[in-house]
């Protein structure tokens, strides 16, 4: 791929990553609210440092859907980081994923807008690692076309996700 094309692909990937992180922040920190004043009334602050503990128990049974959602939500992060930094090692890619997840958990605690949970941190980091693995496999299958193919798929997915969230928000007004 020519340098100009690589630069365009990297720029597109960067834009998609920023949109993804904005949507992820809106979902995790702002609980899909447009009115930030509603978060003041939440006043919910807790910390769970025991993996898979009480925060996941619903009606006496473990509710794994939250863990699965956390994993799925962070898969794109691992893919995007891999697209932007193909030559980075695994640890260098996982560290920003872990750090952003930790930032979300700490922010939820500081502003009392949710539970800070080690299970979320683990699930989010696992999701990012799965994304890194997906990119690794696709890179071996598609070679130099990987970033281009993923950018097309990510653009379609981003547009569809933003439209879905907009419709969901409008429907719940």
pLDDT tens, position by position, 25-41: 998 988 877 766 666 66
Distances in Å between the Cα of 150 and the Cα atoms of 8, 154, 157, 171 are 14, 6, 10, 31
Report domain extents, the chain: 15-30+63-171
Instruction: Indicate yes or no: pTM above 0.95.
Output: no
Q: Rounded to 5 degrees, what are φ and ψ at 160?
A: -65, -40
Question: What is the C-alpha to C-alpha distance for residues 118 and 33, in angstroms, rounded to an integer?
Answer: 24
Looking at residue 72, what is its pLDDT? 96
Give mean pLDDT, residues 79-98: 96
pLDDT tens, position by position, 38-70: 666 677 788 888 888 765 666 666 778 888 999
Using a pLDDT cut of 70, give the percent of the chain over it.
90
Neighbours of 94 (CB within 10 A): 18
Looking at residue 60, what is its pLDDT? 64
């Amino acid at each position: 791929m020519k340098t100009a094309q690589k630069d365009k692909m990297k720029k597109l990937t960067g834009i998609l990553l920023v949109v993804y992180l904005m949507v992820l922040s809106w979902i995790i920190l702002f609980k899909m609210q447009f009115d930030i004043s509603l978060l003041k009334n939440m006043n919910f602050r807790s910390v769970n440092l025991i993996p898979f503990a009480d925060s996941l128990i619903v009606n006496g049974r473990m509710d794994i859907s939250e863990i699965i959602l956390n994993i799925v939500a962070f898969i794109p992060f691992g893919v995007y980081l891999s697209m932007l930094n193909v030559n980075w090692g695994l640890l260098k890619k996982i560290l920003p994923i872990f750090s952003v997840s930790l930032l979300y958990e700490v922010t939820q605690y500081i502003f009392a807008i949710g539970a800070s949970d080690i299970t979320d941190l683990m699930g989010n980091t696992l999701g990012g690692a799965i994304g890194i693995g997906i990119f690794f496999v696709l890179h071996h299958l598609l070679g130099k076309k990987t970033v281009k193919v993923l950018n097309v798929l990510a653009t379609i997915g981003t547009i569809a996700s933003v439209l879905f969230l907009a419709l969901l928000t409008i429907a719940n007004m």
